[in-house]
Amino acid sequence: MFKCEGFRRRRKAERPGEILDAAFEAFAERGYAATRLEDVAARAGVTKGTIYVYFPTKEKLFEDMVRSHSAGLLSDADTLVAGIEGASGEKLRSLLHFLYGRCVEDRRGREILRFMIAEGKNFPQLVAEHYRDFVVPLLSMVSALLEQGVATGQFRADLCRETVRIVIAPTLFLGVLRLIFGDAPPVDEEAYVDAHIDLTLNGLLANPLGA
């Protein structure tokens, strides 16, 4: 009996998370407006009413879902960068690989990007948070890495502030391609990543191509 209670209690504690997961799938598949709360409920294995126990409106459910799924996307990036030994080029390579993992391979990251593009206009608060919690940290991370490379003479000294965005642009753009063309976009992703790093480094290095 109390086994059941325990089970019940555990279920109860997990309900919000299950609903958020279901909401992610549903919203990602059809978009905010076209998603019915009943779809979310069915996916979560509950009924419509239950959603309202935890989330007051559809909008709030969407916002909480985006927050819960975008949180932690960059959580271990710092330690990753810090832990890498080697030249700045190697560090950048590692960071870009990490980024590809989080923004392209990981469905969560990709779909968050879609939410920003597709629904951002109706959820400006969400965009602001995303900028603060994801864009800014990411940019400063790459920025620091570039500056370090400049300081050590491995990178050209004349890099400007926007260079950092150029460096990561192909990464996120591959995410966009996946969003548009599905899981099998007309891209050789491995070659794409190699070309990206190669082009970026040979453009960045103070003395490229062994000159």
Partner DNA sequence: CATGAATGAGACTTCATTCAT
Partner DNA sequence: AATGAATGAAGTCTCATTCAT
Binding of residue 8 to DNA (CB under 7 A): yes
Cβ neighbours around 166 below 10 Å, total = 13
Q: How far, in Å, CA of 166 to CA of 172, rounded?
A: 10
Using DSSP's 3-state secondary structure scheme, residue 48 falls into helix
Output DSSP code: residue 205. Answer: B
Cβ neighbours, 10 Å, residue 207: 9
Minimum CB separation of residue 172 from DNA in Å reads 29
* Residue 12 interaction partner, one of DNA, a copy of itself, none, beta carbon < 5-8 Å per kind: DNA
Angle, vertex CA 126, rays to CA 120 and CA 128, nearest 5? 95
Is residue 198 involved in binding DNA (CB under 7 A)? Answer: no
Tell me if 38 contacts a copy of itself by CB under 8 A.
Answer: no
**Token output for 16:** 């919000």
Looking at residue 208, its amino acid is: P
Q: Which does 38 bind (CB under 5 to 8 A by kind): a copy of itself, DNA, none?
A: DNA
The burial class, CB within 10 Å (0-12 / 13-18 / 19+), for 10 is exposed
Count CA atoms within 13 Å of residue 3 on its CB side: 1
Give the integer Cα–Cα distance in Å for 99 and 96: 5
Task: Choose among a copy of itself, DNA, none what residue 137 binds, the Cβ cut-off being 5 to 8 Å by kind.
Answer: none
Cα 204 from Cα 202, distance rounded (Å) = 5
> Does 118 contact DNA by CB under 7 A?
no
Query: Pattern of binders to DNA over 43-82, x per CB under 7 A?
Result: ---xxxxx-xxx-xxxx-----------------------
CB of 49 to DNA, least distance (A): 2
Residue 122, contacted partner among a copy of itself, DNA, none, CB below 5-8 A by kind: a copy of itself
Handedness of CA 186, 189, 191, 196 (dihedral sign): positive
Closer of 77 and 179 to a copy of itself (Cβ): 179
Note whether 202 binds DNA by CB under 7 A: no
List interacting residues with DNA (CB under 7 A).
4-5, 7-9, 11-12, 15, 34-38, 46-50, 52-54, 56-59
Binding site for a copy of itself (CB under 8 A): 29-34, 89, 92, 114, 116-122, 127, 131, 135, 146, 149, 153-157, 159-163, 165-167, 169-170, 172-174, 176-177, 179-181, 186-188, 191-192, 194-196, 198-209, 211
